[in-house]
Chains A and B, each alone.
Chain A
Amino acid sequence: DTEVTQTPKHLVMGMTNKKSLKCEQHMGHRAMYWYKQKAKKPPELMFVYSYEKLSINESVPSRFSPECPNSSLLNLHLHALQPEDSALYLCASSHTGDGYTFGSGTRLTVV
């Protein structure tokens, strides 16, 4: 299995909603990542988990809350988002120092 699976593919949520994005990989990678990408911009790092521990938080607002339940799963909990948070959210995984394998992303729209 050489894939990173993200669900859902599309999500529309209101500003008062709570939702979660899910990511799963079975490649034995011990590093997992959340990125945010706006149109015509490069991916922007949000969080890094290494061996199931949060190692990097790029000063992301607390309305985004990551969770790594085990070495294969990564969640991003969303609460009280703003319309400007609408973007493509990408999960990735890798062996440390290697290139990342990205999932297909969740296209999030906040209304």
Chain B
Amino acid sequence: QKEVEQNSGPLSVPEGAIASLNCTYSDRGSQSFFWYRQYSGKSPELIMSIYSNGDKEDGRFTAQLNKASQYVSLLIRDSQPSDSATYLCAVYSSASKIIFGSGTRLSIRP
């Protein structure tokens, strides 16, 4: 079992709709969870951090964490073509390092 799992996609969503990205992790000792956006040929950019169970909203982005189910998700409301990118789920593990998922490619179609 991979430490951080994501569906690789591509996930195709119409412009203006909600994009839902999911991630599961295996280390129950993990305390910090992150979502990064990476455009092709660019470096990852931190877009959301979440540390406790529940929802955290920042603009059009909502991160959701359920530690009991070892599940993290990212919702993007009113999706725009500029949201087309690879989204990396990342977990700060009990080994004091961030483990990245393999990423989900998101495509927003006009």
A56 at the interface (CB under 8 A from B): yes
| A42 adjacent to B92 (CB under 8 Å) | no
Q: Considering the chains assembled together, what is the distance between the CA atoms of A38 and B96 in angstroms?
A: 23
Which of A42, A45, A99, A105 is close to B34, meaning CB atoms less than 8 Å apart?
A99
Prevailing SS type, chain A contact patch: loop
**B73-90, CB < 8 A from A:** 88, 90
List the B side residues contacting A81 at CB < 8 Å.
none
* Interface set of B (CB-CB < 8 Å, partner A): 31-32, 34, 36, 42-46, 49, 88, 90, 92, 96-98, 100-103
| A43 adjacent to B44 (CB under 8 Å) | yes
Q: Mark A73-99, 1 if CB is under 8 A from B, else 0.
A: 000000000000000101000001111
Size bracket of the A interface:
10 to 19
| B97 adjacent to A45 (CB under 8 Å) | yes
A32 at the interface (CB under 8 A from B): no
A64 at the interface (CB under 8 A from B): no
Q: Considering the chains assembled together, what is the distance between the CA atoms of A43 and B90 in angstroms?
A: 10
Known contacts A41-B102, A99-B49: A104-B88 contact under CB 8 Å: no
List the A side residues contacting B98 at CB < 8 Å.
45, 99-100
